[in-house]
Structure 1
Amino acid sequence: MHCLWCHSSFVPKTNWQYLFGITTKTYLCPQCSKRLEEIQGPLCDKCGRPFNHLEPQYRQENLCTDCVRWGDGPLTKNRSLYVYNDFLQEVISKWKFRGDAELSKLFTPQLKKLIKQLEPFDFIVPIPLSYERSYERGFNQAKLLTEGLQYPIVEALVKPINSTKQSKKTRSERLEQKELFHISSVDVTNKTILLVDDIYTTGATLYSAAKILKEHGAKKVFSVTVARG
């Protein structure tokens, strides 16, 4: 196989679990895989923030202070795959902003394992891009992540035209912004929904999406992301 990041050739580790499809397929060579920092250890019960990367003053029992501030919000729980370190930042930048859509394959196998922590749910909703952003990139990175997750994909949310990029906003601007999304014509009444996005930073995007879904009758809303900032 060829590593999707460094393009070197490598032989996947094989054992009886790999042969019978119990372990997930890898698209990174061992050297590049080591540069991804998998989230492990004690976590914020709600957003999945790793406590081993957090100063004690930003934790209150089993929650981080961000989640304490959100209170009993519309998002039930988030889980993320990796810490948003320098290597992952470089990968996501190339994937999103330089149009290398193939890199989404790096994450889908591990996301399939991660969502088992949150099952069952009725369908997956990818966080949408605005029309302008989708046109610029040629794809929606969140939707690419959902492909192959073995759940129905429903585009229940729409992003308004001319909305400002989240990456261009400060932390306080993200937290203070108004509604980011509109509901589509999809009926979400009494549904349990999984949102999928690339990065969880302040939680503003996912909470805004969950709020709209709950206001239109969704029963519960969970989320998964590749990175936890």
Structure 2
Amino acid sequence: MEINVQRIDGNWNLGYSLDKHVLSSTYLGDNQWGHATFDTTRSEVGEALYQLKYRSDFNQIPLIANQLSDSLAKLFSSASLVIPMPPSKQRARQPVIEIAQIVAKNMGIPCYENLLIKTKDTPQMKDIESRKDKVETLVQALAINDLLGNAQYDVLIIDDLYDSGASLEAATNILREYKKVRNIFVATATRKHNA
């Protein structure tokens, strides 16, 4: 898989994404139902993520996870556990959790799916205008489930797409309050082109 790794900055200690999600998108006009149509070219990992999320092609999970491990694990060598970003909506299968489990296995460290938990539903982030309000809404919906022993850990949060960074910022804010977490690293499959 061809990738273009780029650092993503935020309130975490270190973060990277594999590639842009979309390389180009040209508006073609509206279809017969009045919906905008686009000719979209995605990066290889962006296409894999699109097929996974919107076409339920679960064969993409190991491809994305292995690429994350191969390309980014060495940058987070002090991480002693992986935390998937809590899903925004309930699904029979949670792709981010499955990706995080494979990344953790490849790194030889545990994956804690229930350490950072979502305690209540939130509106769609695209419906909340300001970034500050997005972060506040998410912080109020996240909590720590104290599963760790009495030590300090460097943790790696896995997410699929880095857009505004609001969800990762909220997750980092919550984890910063947890005395057992020292450094927080972030890895995402893709990033929005304007991020």
TM-score, normalization: structure 1? 0.62
For 1:96, the equivalent position in structure 2 comes to 53
Among candidates 165, 168, 171, match of residue 124 of structure 2: 165
- State the Cα deviation string for residues 150-182 of structure 1 (Å, max 9, x = none): 32001211113321233x346x43442211411
2:87 to 126, 129, 135: 129
Aligned AA for 2:183? Answer: K
Q: Which amino acid letter does the alignment assign opposite residue 158 of structure 2?
A: V
Q: CA offset at residue 183 of structure 1?
A: 0.9
Q: Post-superposition shift, 1:139?
A: 1.5
Give me the whole-angstrom Cα distance separating, in 2, the residues matched to 1:39 and 1:208.
26
- From 75, 82, 99, give the equivalent of 1:145: 99
| 2:74 is equivalent to residue 116 of structure 1 | yes
| Higher fraction of strand | 2
Identity %: 22
Cα RMSD, aligned residues only: 2.3
Q: Which residue of 2 aligns with 1:154?
A: 112
- Letter of the structure 1 residue corresponding to residue 81 of structure 2: F
User: Quick check: 1:220 aligned with 2:178?
Assistant: no
CA distance in structure 2 between the aligned counterparts of 1:222 and 1:123, rounded to whole angstroms: 10
Give the Cα separation in 1 of the matches to 2:142 and 2:130.
Answer: 16
Number of the residue aligned with 1:81: 18
Structure 2 partner of 1:182? 143
Count of aligned pairs: 160
Q: Look at both structures and tell me which one has the larger radius of gyration over its CA atoms.
A: 1
- Give matches, 1:186-201, under 5 Å: 186-187=147-148, 190-201=152-163
- Go from structure 1 to structure 2 and tell me whether the alpha carbon gap of 1:176 and 1:138 turns closer, same or farther (over 3 Å shift): same
Q: Secondary structure at the match of 1:101?
A: coil
Q: Is the 8 A contact 1:128 1:140 kept in 2?
A: no
